[in-house]
Amino acid sequence: MRILITGGAGCLGSNLLEHWLPQGHEILVMDNFATGKREVVPALPRLTLVEGSIADRDLVLRTFAEFKPTHVVHSAASYKDPANWWEDISTNVEGTANVVEAARRAAVIRILNFQTVLCYGRPESTPIPVEHPLRPFTSYGISKVAGEQYLAMSGLPFVSLRLANVTGPRLAIGPIPTFYKRLKAGQACFCSDAQRDFLDMSDFLAAVDIAMTADAPDGVFNVSSGAGHSIKEIYDLVRSHLGMAADPDVKVVAVGDDDVPSVVPDPSRTHALLGWQAKVPFEETIRRLLAWYDAHGVSDVYSHLAEPKS
């Protein structure tokens, strides 16, 4: 395959690089390094880096025309500043439209999109079926839904994976790196009163491999374990991993206005149509990542949520 990955220097994109390069595919990464890391795109045969934003229509069209991808993985997204609507619109909406236009011109075989499960907003029940109405209420969620819907109406052969919290090397968002970094530094922590679904990177990669095959069905799929775990469970596991005593008195606070108490997607349709299901147990998933942090550390930690007011 000739695979073009937008946002290829981010967590998901970089793990896909490590997964696919040994298989002999030609890969081009587009990234503006707003959150991605330059060092994860080394100078290697069969790997090309184009630095820039997918919001740059001329750059996107030129890059696609020159590389001639057979497959596109659309992983680029703006999320790190919830108050910066214009950047979210520029990247997640206009940037996606640019990628769609370029993919049409290149007659790509398949485009794979990564979607946030925040697309569902505050769900009526959990686990959340993939048919649940889309009710995003944050800039990140709204702009990502708009991008996915433009892709769906494009006529391109596409798969959009609505992802649980994919957990693996270089993860720089969410409670796991936050707790690890703060506890290592001796800083105080609090837990939001929320439940999330955590998915091991190996299970994510297996789902992507299936979605990229020529005979995989098009459409939208939840990629998740289907099981919810509290943020307090994550906190307890991080403390245990670091050899720290339990902290039964840690402050547990209500979720903010820009957050959702429970986000647990239902993967049953994905099981039925793609033949995929998560295999790595929750605790092993978390401990694998913590062991990676032991070896490599945690640098930046981002969030799509606003800073707590107090």
Quickly tell me which residue has 């391109």 as its tokens: 156
The CATH T-level fold of domain 175-196+227-263+279-296 is UDP-galactose 4-epimerase; domain 1 (3.90.25)
Contact 19, 205 (CB under 8 A): yes
pTM of the model: 0.94
Instruction: State the architecture of 2-167+199-223 in CATH terms.
Output: 3-Layer(aba) Sandwich (3.40)
Is the model's pLDDT at 304 over the cut of 90?
A: no
Structural Rg of the chain based on CA atoms: 19
For 63, residues 6+ apart whose C-beta sits below 8 A from its C-beta are 4, 28, 30, 50, 102
**Predicted confidence band of residue 299 (pLDDT cuts 50, 70, 90):** confident
pLDDT attached to residue 167: 97
Instruction: Return residue ranges of the chain for CATH 3.90.25.10.
Output: 175-196+227-263+279-296
**Predicted confidence band of residue 133 (pLDDT cuts 50, 70, 90):** very high
Is the model's pLDDT at 306 over the cut of 70?
A: no
Tens of pLDDT, residues 51-106: 999 999 999 999 999 999 999 999 999 988 889 999 999 999 999 999 999 999 99
Instruction: Return residue ranges of the chain for CATH 3.40.50.720.
Output: 2-167+199-223
pLDDT attached to residue 258: 81
Residue 17's Cβ-count burial label (10 Å; 0-12, 13-18, 19+) is: buried
Average pLDDT over every residue of 250-271 = 94
pLDDT attached to residue 256: 86
